[in-house]
Structure 1
Amino acid sequence: MCYRCHMVERADMRIEQLADGFELWVGDVAIVRHRAAEPAFFVGSGRPLVEMYRGNFAIEDRVDERLPLRHAEIAGNLVRLAVAAGLAPLLELRVEPGGLALNAAGPALNRFWLRVLADAGERLWGGGEQMSYFDMAGRRFPLWTSEPGVGRDKSTQLTWQADVTGKSGGDYWNTNYPQPTYVSSRRYALHVETDAYAAFDFRDPDFHEIEAWAVPARIEAWAAPSFVGLVEQLSARFGRQPRLPDWAIGGAIVGLKDGERSFDRLEGFVAAGAEVSGLWCEDWVGLRVTSFGKRLFWDWKANEARYPGLRGRIAALAARGIRFLGYVNPYLAADGVQFVEAAERGYLALRQDSDDIYLVDFGEFDCGVVDFTNPDAAKWFAERIIGQEMLDFGLSGWMADFGEYLPVDVRLSNGVDGMLMHNPWPTIWAKVNADAVASRGRTGDALFFMRAGWTGVQAHCPLLWAGDQSVDFSRHDGIGTVIRGALSSGLLGNAYHHSDIGGYTSLFGNVRTAELIMRWSEMAAFTPVMRSHEGNRPDDNLQIDGDPQVLAHFARMTRIHAALAPYVAGLCDEAVATGLPLQRPLFLHFEEDAACYPVETAYLYGPDLLVAPVIEPGAERWQVYLPAGADWIHLWSHEAHSGGQVLDVESPIGSPPVFWRAGSVHEALFAGLASI
């Protein structure tokens, strides 16, 4: 079987008239049926109620009017919809290649609902990066970029504590990266071209309801005979990342934020036998200590006091084949030098009610918002901050953090309402970074990674990271969420995904265990990029180099990760050519095996490896479903097993459940991993 597909020709959307309405089809899939008695299109008006507190949003809608558009007048590919015959049309639909263009009667209509046909047992994936549920069927998913929350489970004490202390508990649908696109098990995909607050409601057995707080410009749809074909088309639509650089897949990026001591500690990793490709010091700009923990000083330049002689240190690492990475985000601390520079140039967003600079509370310090809708401000940040202070200084990569914090009541240079700029802000932020990298001719070499996203972030961001998981095994905010995040975002054209080894958020006494770090390291070894993080409270938590056993285990996993580089390099080439993600749901290559569809915490790593990370504490055995249609070889014992069965496999720390497909051309490489 060949897993490198050629681009599937896109199926056009078409309209078929009914006696009392019409249907919309894409390929051989009917997606909308509109009848006078059962209308699919609704418009209306409403008023948003939005409260933001440090990146967490409480959003309500006051719907003033919701009008079913029962009457349809059809002329070829044009449909005019009205509340009733004889009344003026309120919505015009025009069927165009690949989609449906929409035009509302006037700006007062700022609410839109569409009902899409549903099938019994249908599964639905996508929605951006969904962390709690890979299959979205049966639930409602608001689509608004925000902090995902701490705990993300209203039944837990951790979430309750986060809610009452900082309005930051979150829920299952909260995500840094939403996107109004989904893939159906009926082998079609649908995208809503809007920047407004939106929601996918998959709770009704008869229809899926799409909601947007503005009439979308377009509804796009794709159909293909295979899911691989759908992913190819979606990645072509939204953009494909450049190939990951060889240095990023050839070893681990060790995250340390200990000032100049970070260099000495790195030597401990090397001495333990770790394959190190990068040193990531997010505190390269200096620290600010708050009640949340050790945070950074948001003035984006090397802090000589914390990292004396950093430029020389970076050069010395480079001579050894180790890259240096830092950190940046799109805000400037009000007590920093760059804030003053940006303010003097008029590059900061303003308040709506005055010409004062809009200051955002980030938790015991305030920051200005660089107004990227001002082309000069975007160019200034790309050149002055990322270009000169980072790339020219010697950095080979960075975390491009935040992007989801844009206040909705801010006044921007382009005059667009903050409610419509909030969601696309991460994509704009990604472009600023990508433009800076391209200006130095380092696309495909310098590597930045982001957690925030929206439609089109794929075209600019070369690598996602899963965000700020809690330092635990919890169902909705722990280690397992990063697998669901990789699978959901991967179907929408994000080929590369990774996470903070050991998690990040440590609050209310929740701290890392050695077991968690080791299990996370095992999973990370079988992802495109392997990167550690010390977390928000490094002094309260176990670090990798704080326990000899944990360090030795991590070092071995880095060697396994590095040994896989030839296989991963081929997957990166395939991603450039086809858009296929490196981490894939089992059904992507085993569509005829119904048992693959419910699996959401195991994945295919390319076509030839099956990875089922242990994501519960205390587990010495783990159940793994092996897809039918292939035989599978256990990575550590080399025992062969037939597909189509659930295998209960011994999974002690150091031997996570991993299998390779019998007959793989990479069999010799895989067979050698057990001896590392």
Structure 2
Amino acid sequence: MFEIKDKSLRIKLGGFELIHAEDFPILAVGYGENSYEMSHGNFNISKYYKEKIPLKKFRVLTSSNETCEILFLSDNGEQVKCEFTIESNSLKIRILEHSHGLNRFWLYIPTSENEEIYGCGEQFSYLNLRGKRVPLWVSEQGVGRNKRDIITHFANFKDDAGGDWYTTYFPQPTFVSNRSYYAIFETYAYSKFDFSHKNFHEIEIHEIPKSIEFGTADNLYETVLNLTKRIGLPNPLPDWVYDGVILGLQGGRDIVMQKIKNALDKGLKISGLWIQDWEGKRVTTFGKQLMWNWVYDANMYPNLPEMISELRNMGIRTLGYINTFLALEGSLYKEASEKGYLVRKPNGEEYHVVVTTFPAALVDFTNPEAREWIKNVIKTNMIGIGLSGWMADFGEYLPTDAVLYDGTPAELYHNRFPVDWAKINAEAVAEAGKSGEVVFFMRAGNLYSSKYSTLFWHGDQMVNWSKDDGLPSVIVAALSMTMSGIGLTHSDIGGYTTLAKNIPDVVVTKRTKELFMRWVEQATFTPVMRTHEGNWPDENWQFDSDEETLLHFAKMSRIHALLKPYIKNLVGRYSTTGNPIIMPLNLKYKVEDTEGMKYEYLFGEDLLVAPVIESGQSTKKVFLPEDEWVNLWSDKKYSGGWYEIDAPIGYPPVFYRQNSEWGALFEKVGGAQ
């Protein structure tokens, strides 16, 4: 509904509205420039604003019940022409024209003090973003991610790699409100979504965006559902994924096959073997790393296709690894360099980026021939030898001063780079005729990544209990991804980042037995279970470090496999209709303190999971929303309220709805001790 007066404008859609007045203009524009310093995928961004200009005046050019074309003007003559269209439950704003040279844009949205805001992509520290200023820029998440943490200070001192609460691999210019509306901003430029003001939200974008969309619904659940469908749904996961864990191993054929045999003998359900060093390895001061040349290493894995076939006959699929880089020592780098497929510097030289301790070249995804070339590498060297999946790593490292093939400024392409990386992988799978059979998982992303990547993982968490960068953070990450419209997520069981070599004892961090076992429990109640040995495998507790750990892991793997019908149903509904998989409690129930409840979650509508996320806990205080609940392990029944729940290792607090149609399955799962 449009309400137009001489000096004011009101656009209303359900419970959402935009208000323009001379003393509170809806839009501002301006001029500015940013400078970026990148170190190991972490960015220091300095922002210079030459001028910020409120567009106080407006002129209606055309108007009807559904569409209104409006010219916004400043006192000095800067102009932005917009088309507002109301369709069903959505308001779409297209920016048709604007004054030359404008490269800053602000939109102001009325709010109230009690509004809650979620989304903005993957957030690890906070679920409710009200009161926060959220920068949106694809980067490494950082080590520690808390300026009050000594680990973060050490990482900053050593490599400028500590990060902060807002640094993330997967920002996304979308959000949802508990007032039952969503917002989508069509941009890949640096942005800052400021939810800290009392009466308005301030959306700042460092370009003039193509379009903006708001959608409303009857409740928060439907709002999230509509956003999810709007940004795109992926293919369902392959059926084999649900049959056990994807076991991350490395070190060569003999080591890998022996570990699999031992694990199977102890009852571990294995659906896949993930060998990230299929293409070889290197050892650096950061740890055991990979040789980024996407051809299998015949020394470590002699006749790998035969090994893949052997494992498949055992019911185990094989997964590999690829990323956006090429090792300078590799055959593929030489080929890509000769053909001009690599990102360049302003002086015409190839841009070799230092990721951890060594330089590597980046494939230029704006070059159509380069895209086809890397797709053929995937189809031939990976799918062609029988791999059923892979980690499609990185996507955060495009330097902003790079020169790209198609002339797009790298500053404006940086956030889009991981989206195109996902699209390349998806096209390779489709062209090989393997859609629905192959799974690839990514950490970096942005707007529309969700419709290309088959699965996401939460990245390189610390191997500890920290809320900003350890086990608890992957729960918040999954919930924030759900609230951003992305449903298929999982984590490295046990975490990845270890600080253990040549550093002060006060910041040494190694994975413990307890942490690994508790992380296994949390991962059991997610769509996919996958382990990672970490960057220093020999320093960390592994799934087979002792028999008790392996037997615990085997038990939880059997529980996950027993849940296959339920999980497969959840994934199928998400892939076809957008229904969330891992949800904050307030999507289905009335909850007073959503932020305080962010370490509990609904796994589908019928399971409530409250993982143990602190060391030394054998009981946990759990909030159950108003419903009738049954403890998965003890069959004890509960109504809504707070309870102190026994939670010894092997029995994390998990409850199912008493009237669930899956009750018989849950009884079977709970009895599988």
Q: TM-score range by the shorter chain?
A: over 0.9
Contact 2:440 2:453 in 1 (8 A): yes
> Are 1:24 and 2:11 matched, yes or no?
yes
Contact 2:179 2:220 in 1 (8 A): no
* Worse-superposed segment, 141-150 or 364-373: 364-373
Distance in 1, Cα, partners of 2:100 & 2:441: 37
* Worse-superposed segment, 313-322 or 363-372: 363-372
Letter in 2 for 1:609: L
Give the CA deviation at 1:88.
2.7
RMSD: 1.3
Letter in 1 for 2:71: R
Distance in 1, Cα, partners of 2:78 & 2:161: 43
Specify the alignment match of 1:670 in structure 2. Answer: 666
Give the CA deviation at 1:18.
4.0
Structure 2: gaps spanning 5 or more residues: 500-506
Distance in 1, Cα, partners of 2:210 & 2:670: 53
> Are 1:515 and 2:514 matched, yes or no?
yes
Distance in 2, Cα, partners of 1:249 & 1:173: 32
Contact 2:78 2:99 in 1 (8 A): no
Distance in 1, Cα, partners of 2:650 & 2:337: 53
Question: How many pairs does the alignment contain?
Answer: 655
Find the partner of 2:292 among 298, 322, 329. Answer: 298
Letter in 2 for 1:424: R
3-state SS, counterpart of residue 242 of structure 1: coil
Give the CA deviation at 1:145.
0.4
Specify the alignment match of 2:631 in structure 1. Answer: 634
> Are 1:321 and 2:321 matched, yes or no?
no
Give the CA deviation at 1:493.
2.4
Specify the alignment match of 1:73 in structure 2. Answer: 59
TM-score normalised by length of structure 2: 0.96
Letter in 1 for 2:628: D
> Are 1:405 and 2:397 matched, yes or no?
yes
Q: Cα 1:625–1:505, aligned 2, differ >3 Å: closer, same or farther?
A: same
Letter in 2 for 1:336: G
Specify the alignment match of 2:450 in structure 1. Answer: 458
Find the partner of 1:61 among 34, 39, 47. Answer: 47
Q: Deviations over 1:131-164 (max 9, x none)?
A: 1111111111100000000000000110000000
3-state SS, counterpart of residue 494 of structure 1: coil
3-state SS, counterpart of residue 228 of structure 1: helix
* Worse-superposed segment, 595-604 or 477-486: 595-604
Specify the alignment match of 1:660 in structure 2. Answer: 656
* Worse-superposed segment, 193-202 or 258-267: 258-267
Q: Deviations over 1:322-341 (max 9, x none)?
A: 00001000111111110011
3-state SS, counterpart of residue 67 of structure 1: strand
* Worse-superposed segment, 630-639 or 342-351: 342-351
Distance in 2, Cα, partners of 1:493 & 1:449: 16
Find the partner of 1:153 among 140, 146, 154. Answer: 146
Contact 2:156 2:162 in 1 (8 A): yes
3-state SS, counterpart of residue 544 of structure 2: helix
Specify the alignment match of 1:274 in structure 2. Answer: 268
Contact 1:80 1:89 in 2 (8 A): no
> Are 1:251 and 2:244 matched, yes or no?
yes
Distance in 2, Cα, partners of 1:472 & 1:381: 36
Aligned identity (percent) is 42
> Are 1:538 and 2:537 matched, yes or no?
yes
Find the partner of 1:448 among 440, 443, 447. Answer: 440
| Superposed counterparts of 1:105-120, under 5 Å | 105-120=98-113
Q: Deviations over 1:445-479 (max 9, x none)?
A: 10000000000001100101000000000010011
Distance in 1, Cα, partners of 2:653 & 2:218: 31
Distance in 2, Cα, partners of 1:20 & 1:179: 34
3-state SS, counterpart of residue 604 of structure 1: strand
Give the CA deviation at 1:366.
1.5
Q: Cα 1:15–1:405, aligned 2, differ >3 Å: closer, same or farther?
A: farther
Letter in 1 for 2:84: V
Find the partner of 2:617 among 615, 619, 630. Answer: 619
Distance in 2, Cα, partners of 1:596 & 1:363: 38
Letter in 2 for 1:48: N
Distance in 2, Cα, partners of 1:340 & 1:185: 53
> Are 1:378 and 2:371 matched, yes or no?
yes
Contact 2:293 2:330 in 1 (8 A): yes
Distance in 1, Cα, partners of 2:227 & 2:301: 43
> Are 1:242 and 2:235 matched, yes or no?
yes
Contact 1:15 1:95 in 2 (8 A): no
Find the partner of 1:361 among 339, 351, 354. Answer: 354
Distance in 2, Cα, partners of 1:228 & 1:159: 36
TM-score normalised by length of structure 1: 0.95
Specify the alignment match of 1:554 in structure 2. Answer: 553
Distance in 1, Cα, partners of 2:191 & 2:12: 23
Give the CA deviation at 1:363.
2.6
3-state SS, counterpart of residue 350 of structure 1: coil
Specify the alignment match of 2:645 in structure 1. Answer: 649
Structure 1: gaps spanning 5 or more residues: 1-13
> Are 1:338 and 2:332 matched, yes or no?
yes
Contact 2:286 2:357 in 1 (8 A): no
> Are 1:569 and 2:551 matched, yes or no?
no
Contact 2:585 2:591 in 1 (8 A): no
Find the partner of 1:284 among 258, 278, 286. Answer: 278
